[in-house]
């Protein structure tokens, strides 16, 4: 049986299975747009979704959006660098003038961070006029930040209102810095729409890199080359140019004729004020020095480490001491970063008291740490059996001044010309560390130890000097001493009101004893003669109102007696009985000494266990 081929399916005729046609599905017409009222202007067709929303007003710049964005981020980078310089300048100035850099940094940074938050909130009101607002902020920041150091210095010198002025200045500068970022982000959003996270990332990257450059430029470029006052003024000019010029160039089409004229006038006025201020910095500093120091300024320089100033303090004509040392041609005061470290009217009494008791014993090799003025060196060299003196001073400017200035060479008897003296310009801590490891100048395991070490260093209240009063420092110092070597350390002020100075004395005593040494704390003798009615002692001693005397701690591997050498040269303020209103402080030793100072705990390690 033959199978017939299957017939193809019938064409689709739109019929139902019963054969009746299927009615077509009616199409729903789109809803008609509502009729506009008579006289209304027809609305524009909607923007296609692919174009995305446009920023209000549209980007109208002198460059294409991509390049304009790069220029704006460069401005953000420069402004961030300038902002960090302002912060560092305020911290550094406070440390120089007041000391206690930890407190100064804490006050400045905390106030500025808080003010930056305030500035960010205030900037929200001006994001609709971001270009003009950003230019105004940068002009104000360049002016206020550029003149901040000079203004604070003036408050310190003439108004005695440094602390409130510092807080006010930090708040104003911080507020202006805080307003920068919201305005920059608003300008970037105008140039090109993108995800908010991308805009934030771009701005933060420019800000952080700018902070890095500003933080490195301040200590390594601005301070050494320009100094604090001129450096801040130059940075203020850069800040004003970076902000205002970018706005006046990129967004000039968005500004009306009058705003453009006002911004140009503000920029020129700001630069003019900063330029005039920069040209007058030398006169300003000289006037401030005259206000601070009644005597003539004999020498002033900014070294790599500090401000070194020598001023006259007394009229010529002082008697020579009994040892034959000629009197200084005039009284002088040596100041480092504004802190007096030497007063010719009183230095001999203090240096005699520190040096000669320590030299009562073997003294062939002597080490002086600090003492760049040469006064302790002068006293050491009065002993002919001293064969070698090593003086370690960090700042070459101090030793150079002491070796060349007539007022100081008259006081130190040209001590630096003595062939027994070797001067090492190094940080005392680093130099001792190299010696303890067997390296450095004169180092090595076979090098003979020093018979005497004199620590004529800045007081421990100076932050940079805190490490020079620690267990680690005295441990290294002990390693370079001869077996019967002795150490003399000058401490803080000891008058009854100077609780911090007395605390320094006993903390240093505890720190020396923590290294296995025995100690004898004492104080210098009082001035030999009572002051005359005008407050000036007739023997050239210290006038009334002088700073309190420091304490001195004598230390050795055996309990060191407080006595003078049998062959001591003629001394002006000491005799065989040694104390004349001074002497040992053993009777006032507290029952429990404070904990010793260590590098991690310069105020005393509460967990010290030896």
Asked whether residue 427 is marked as a ligand-binding residue, the answer is: yes
**Within 10 Å of residue 376's Cβ, how many Cβ atoms?**
30
Considering 245, 271, 290, which residue would you say is the last residue of a domain? 290
Based on the fold, state whether residues 435 and 579 are members of the same structural domain: yes
Assess whether 126 and 209 both reside in one domain: yes
Dihedral sign of CA atoms 104, 110, 113, 118 in order: negative
513 is in an annotated binding site: no
Rounded distance between C-alpha atoms, residue 347 and residue 314, angstroms: 14
Residue 318 lies in a domain: no
Is residue 328 assigned to a domain? no
Nearest by Cα to 356 from 373, 374, 334, 381: 381
* DSSP state letter for 29: P
The answer to whether 364 and 352 are in contact (CB under 8 A) is no
Average pLDDT over all residues of the chain = 82
- CATH code assigned at 141: 1.20.1250.20
Query: What are the CA-CA distances from residue 229 to residues 166, 445, 553 (Å)?
Result: 15, 48, 40
Residue scoring higher pLDDT (385 or 501):
385
- Give CA–CA dist 243/75, Å, rounded: 6
Verify that 278 and 197 share a domain, yes or no.
Answer: yes
pLDDT band at 69 (very low <50, low <70, confident <90, very high): confident
* DSSP code per residue over 32-64: PPPPPPTTPPPPPPPPPGGG-PPPTT----SS-
Query: Which of 255, 290, 325 is at the close of a domain?
Result: 290
Whether residue 274 sits in one domain with residue 360: no
For residue 28, pLDDT over 90 is answered with no
Q: What is the pLDDT of residue 323?
A: 41
347 labelled ligand-binding: no
Dist CA 373 CA 375 (whole Å): 6
Per the domain annotation, does 266 fall within a domain? yes
Tokens of 239: 């800040």
Considering the entire predicted model, what is its pTM? Answer: 0.75
Which residue among 337, 456, 504, 605 is the active-site one?
456
Lowest mean pLDDT across 85-94, 269-278, 390-399, 569-578: 569-578
Q: Tell me whether residue 327 is in a domain.
A: no
Question: Are residues 186 and 82 part of one domain?
Answer: yes
Q: CA angle 511-514-518, nearest 5°?
A: 90
User: What pLDDT digit, counting tens, does each position of 304-346 carry?
Assistant: 888 899 988 755 444 444 444 434 445 899 988 888 889 998 8
Determine whether 456 is an active site residue. Answer: yes
Return d(Cα 303, Cα 227) in angstroms, integer.
10
Residue 446 pLDDT > 60 = no
> Alpha helix locations (H) across 223-313?
223-225, 227-250, 257-279, 281-292
Residue 159 DSSP class: I
Order of strands across the sheet that contains 365-370: 421-425, 388-393, 365-370, 450-456, 481-493, 550-556, 518-523, 583-584
Residues 349 and 286 in one domain: no
Between CA 231 and CA 221 the distance in angstroms is: 9
Query: Is pLDDT larger for residue 382 or for residue 98?
Result: 382
> What CATH number is given to the structural domain containing 517?
3.40.50.150
Q: Identify whether 170 is part of a domain.
A: yes
pLDDT at position 495: 61
User: Between these two residues, 257 and 173, which has the higher pLDDT value?
Assistant: 173
Is a pLDDT exceeding 70 seen at residue 347?
yes
- One domain, residues 281 and 351: no
pLDDT tens column, 204-233:
999 999 999 999 999 999 988 898 999 999
Q: Is the pLDDT of residue 42 over 70?
A: no
Judge whether 435 and 392 are in contact, CB under 8 Å: no
* Domain count for the chain: 2
Q: Which comes out higher in pLDDT, residue 528 or 35?
A: 528
Q: Enter the tokens of residue 423.
A: 């001067």
Q: Which of 290, 314, 335 is the last residue before a domain boundary?
A: 290
Q: Note the pLDDT tens digit of each residue in 128-171.
A: 899 999 999 999 999 999 999 999 999 999 998 999 999 999 99
| pLDDT score at 348 | 92
In a domain, 605, yes or no: no
pLDDT at 60: 57
**497 pLDDT exceeds 90?**
no
The answer to the question of residue 47 being in a domain is no
**pLDDT at 254 (0 to 100):** 80
Q: What is the pLDDT of residue 57?
A: 46
Closest alpha carbon to 128 in 66, 187, 211? 187
Range of 246's domain?
Answer: 65-290
Per-residue pLDDT tens for 237-276?
999 999 888 888 888 888 888 999 999 999 999 999 999 9
| Whether residue 353 sits in one domain with residue 250 | no
Task: Give pLDDT, residue 576.
Answer: 65
Give yes or no: residues 114 and 218 share one domain: yes
Query: Residues of the chain with pLDDT > 70: what percent?
Result: 78
Q: What is the predicted pLDDT for the residue at 29?
A: 52
pLDDT band at 9 (very low <50, low <70, confident <90, very high): low
pLDDT tens digits, one per residue of 424-441: 999 999 999 998 887 544
Percent of the chain having pLDDT more than 90? 51
pLDDT in tens, 524-545: 887 755 443 334 444 444 443 4
Confidence band, pLDDT 50/70/90 cuts, at residue 374: very high
Residue 41 has pLDDT above 90, yes or no: no
pLDDT at 35 over 60: no
435 and 286 together in one domain = no
pLDDT at 63: 63
Q: Are residues 570 and 431 in the same domain?
A: yes
> Smallest Cα–Cα separation from 360: which of 566, 551, 519?
566
544 is in an annotated binding site: no
Whether residue 295 lies inside any domain: the answer is no
Of 218-232, 394-408, 436-450, give the range with the top mean pLDDT: 394-408
Q: Which of residues 25 and 121 earns the better pLDDT score? A: 121
267 shares a domain with 169: yes
């Amino acid at each position: 049986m033959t199978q017939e081929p299957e017939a193809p399916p019938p064409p689709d005729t739109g019929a139902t299975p019963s054969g009746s046609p299927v009615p077509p599905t009616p199409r729903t017409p789109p809803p008609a747009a509502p009729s506009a009222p008579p006289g209304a202007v027809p609305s524009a067709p909607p923007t296609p979704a692919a174009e995305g929303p446009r920023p209000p007003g549209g980007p109208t710049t002198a460059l294409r959006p991509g390049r304009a964005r790069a220029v704006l981020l460069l401005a953000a980078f420069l402004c961030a660098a300038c902002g960090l310089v302002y912060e560092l300048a305020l911290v550094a100035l406070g440390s120089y003038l007041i000391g206690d850099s930890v407190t100064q940094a804490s006050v400045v940074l905390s106030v500025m961070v808080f003010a930056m938050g305030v500035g960010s909130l205030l900037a929200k009101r001006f994001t609709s006029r971001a270009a003009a607002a950003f230019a105004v902020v940068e002009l104000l920041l360049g002016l206020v930040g550029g003149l901040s150091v000079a203004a604070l210095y003036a408050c310190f010198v003439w108004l005695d209102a440094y602390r409130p002025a510092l807080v006010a200045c930090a708040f104003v500068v911080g507020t202006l810095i805080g307003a920068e970022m919201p305005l920059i982000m608003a300008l970037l959003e105008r140039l090109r729409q993108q995800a908010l996270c991308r805009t934030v990332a771009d701005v933060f990257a420019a800000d952080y890199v700018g902070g890095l450059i500003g933080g490195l430029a301040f200590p390594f470029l601005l301070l050494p080359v320009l100094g604090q006052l001129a450096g801040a003024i130059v940075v203020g000019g850069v800040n004003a140019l970076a902000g205002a010029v970018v706005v006046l160039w990129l967004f000039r089409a968005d500004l009306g004729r009058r705003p453009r004229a006002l911004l140009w006038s503000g920029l020129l006025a700001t630069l003019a004020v900063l330029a005039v201020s920069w040209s007058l910095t030398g006169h300003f500093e000289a006037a401030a020095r005259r206000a601070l120091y009644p005597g003539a300024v004999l020498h002033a320089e900014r070294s790599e480490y500090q401000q070194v100033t020598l001023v006259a303090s007394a009229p010529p004509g002082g008697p020579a001491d009994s040892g034959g040392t000629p009197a200084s041609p005039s009284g002088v005061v040596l100041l480092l970063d504004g802190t007096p470290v030497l007063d010719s009217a009183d230095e001999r009494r203090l240096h005699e008291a520190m040096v000669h008791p320590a030299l009562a014993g073997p003294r062939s090799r002597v080490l002086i740490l600090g003492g760049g003025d040469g006064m302790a060196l002068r006293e050491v060299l009065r002993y002919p059996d001293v064969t070698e003196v090593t003086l370690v001073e960090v700042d070459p400017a101090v030793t150079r001044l002491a070796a060349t200035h007539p007022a100081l060479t008259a006081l130190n008897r040209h001590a630096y010309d003595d062939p027994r003296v070797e001067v090492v310009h190094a940080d005392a801590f680093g130099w001792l560390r190299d010696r303890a490891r067997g390296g450095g100048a004169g180092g090595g395991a076979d090098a003979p130890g020093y018979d005497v070490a004199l620590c004529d260093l800045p007081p421990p209240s100076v932050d940079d000097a805190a490490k020079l009063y620690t267990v680690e420092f005295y441990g290294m110092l002990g390693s370079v001493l001869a077996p019967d070597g002795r150490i003399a350390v000058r401490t803080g002020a000891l008058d009854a009101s100077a609780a911090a100075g007395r605390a320094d004395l006993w903390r240093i005593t505890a720190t020396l004893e923590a290294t296995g040494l025995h100690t004898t704390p004492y104080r210098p003798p009082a001035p030999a003669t009572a002051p005359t009615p005008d407050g000036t002692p007739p023997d050239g001693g210290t006038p009334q109102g002088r700073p309190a005397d420091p304490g001195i701690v004598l230390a050795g591997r055996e309990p060191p007696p407080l006595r003078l050498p049998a062959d001591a040269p003629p001394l002006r303020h000491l005799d065989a009985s040694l104390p004349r209103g001074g002497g040992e402080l053993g009777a006032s030793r507290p029952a429990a000494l404070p904990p010793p100072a260590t590098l991690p705990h310069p105020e005393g390690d509460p967990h010290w266990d030896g």
